[in-house]
Amino acid sequence: MNFDQLLYAEVLAQHNSMQKAADVLHISKSGLSIAIHQLENELEVTLFDKSSSGTKLTSEGRQLLSSISDILRFKNNLEKTATIVANPQKHQKVSIHYMNTMLKPFISTFIDNYVAKFENVQVNISCHEFESIVRRVRSQEIDAGFIAINNINDESIKNLDFTPVCDSKLVLFCAPNNPLNALNRPISLTDLKKQKFSLFNDKFHDEIFERLQFQCGPLSLVLRVDDAWAMNQAIINLNTVCFGRIVQGNLSSNTDFSKLKIIHIGHVFDDDFKLGWLTNPNYMISEKAQELLRDITAEVKKDAQ
């Protein structure tokens, strides 16, 4: 038994045709047939039934297929790991998590510099809530998190390093036809009470919304979401409002998000936030990860202007 024979069996099971499988594998039909026959003899199991309708797995073959696939997957993983171990500087993983909507500078930076800097780097970039990012940075599951925070002395990030990148204001985003845009005065709690809300999954947005309900009474909450496109749809089509930071509109991968109207609320809530990197001082970040963070930082600063 060899890996080629196992691969042939897996491909044949996918295509149910000797000729199609042989074409995919770039071998002759007779060569494929001989390899399958040798494998069946060694396993002492008939894996395939051949008929005019094709070559299909037997019931015994179906039972063994998952084990065949597992062996091939383990082989591939072993080869990949061995390559990384042999060339650690050429194969690195970087994991970065960010808070809602701010995807554009992360992806554009990686893509624009891929060939020159990051061709041998596997990057994991994903959106998470504040608490999740803090937990994963603390447990050293990720290299860094990009967060927004209104108090850099917040107990939740105690013993972690926060490196500010830019400042931003908390505002309300709303549709162009929302009556709030017609006000010729600062927005009031009474105005807010008349609105329908959509919220990003964000610790600080939740705290502000709860504080607002304490002052105004129950408010209409229509949607919770992480995605900027979904939020944009809710604001435009359902005429909701949402809390957001001005910079987030500039950093959103959804270009329409920056076209929403902004209502300032600094006279009602503390609207000062800092955006930046959260890292663990006890975790050694690779040179490639540091380079990627520096490049993203430059892109964020440019887009935040």
Query: pLDDT tens digit string along 43-76?
Result: 999 999 988 888 999 999 999 999 999 999 888 8
Q: How far is CA 153 from CA 137, 148, 162, 294, in A?
A: 17, 13, 9, 23
> In this structure, are 221 and 238 located in the same domain?
yes
Check whether 84 has a pLDDT greater than 80: no
Residues 190 and 261 in one domain: yes
Q: Are residues 284 and 196 in the same domain?
A: no
The residue range of the domain holding 156 is: 89-165+272-302
For residues 20 and 66, state if they share a domain.
yes
Asked which of 83, 104, 126 is the last residue of a domain, the reply is 83
**Average pLDDT over every residue of 139-165:** 92
Q: What percent of the chain has pLDDT over 70?
A: 96
What lies within 8 Å, CB to CB, of 77 at 6+ separation is none
Query: Could you tell me the CATH number of the domain that includes residue 114?
Result: 3.40.190.10
255 shares a domain with 216: yes
Query: Around Cβ 129, how many Cβ atoms within 10 Å?
Result: 18
Indicate whether 145 and 206 sit together in one domain.
no
Separation between Cα atoms, residue 99 and residue 204, nearest integer Å: 11
Give mean pLDDT, residues 263-287.
Answer: 91
Q: Please, are residues 98 and 125 in contact by the beta-carbon 8 Å criterion? A: yes
For residue range 161-190, what is the model confidence (pLDDT) as tens digits?
A: 999 999 999 999 999 999 999 998 999 999
**The last residue of a domain, from among 83, 103, 129:** 83
Same domain, 179 and 261: yes
Are 158 and 282 part of one and the same domain? yes
Last residue in a domain, options 83, 108, 139: 83
> With 70 as the cut, is the pLDDT of residue 18 above it?
yes
Residues 177 and 257 in one domain: yes
- Mean per-residue pLDDT of the chain: 89
Give me the CATH number covering residue 70: 1.10.10.10
What mean pLDDT comes out for the span 211-222?
92
Query: Do 70 and 98 belong together in one domain?
Result: no
Q: How many domains does the chain have?
A: 3
| C-alpha distances out from residue 90 to 11, 28, 30, 119, Å | 31, 37, 41, 9
- Cα dihedral sign for 128, 132, 134, 138? negative
| pLDDT computed for residue 30 by the predictor | 92
Summarize pLDDT for 277-298 with one digit per residue, the tens. Answer: 999 999 988 888 899 999 999 9
Q: In which residue are the tokens 């080629």 written?
A: 4
Find the mean pLDDT for residues 17-27: 92
Same domain, 131 and 276: yes
Residues 133 and 194 in one domain: no
169 vs 266: CA distance, rounded Å: 8
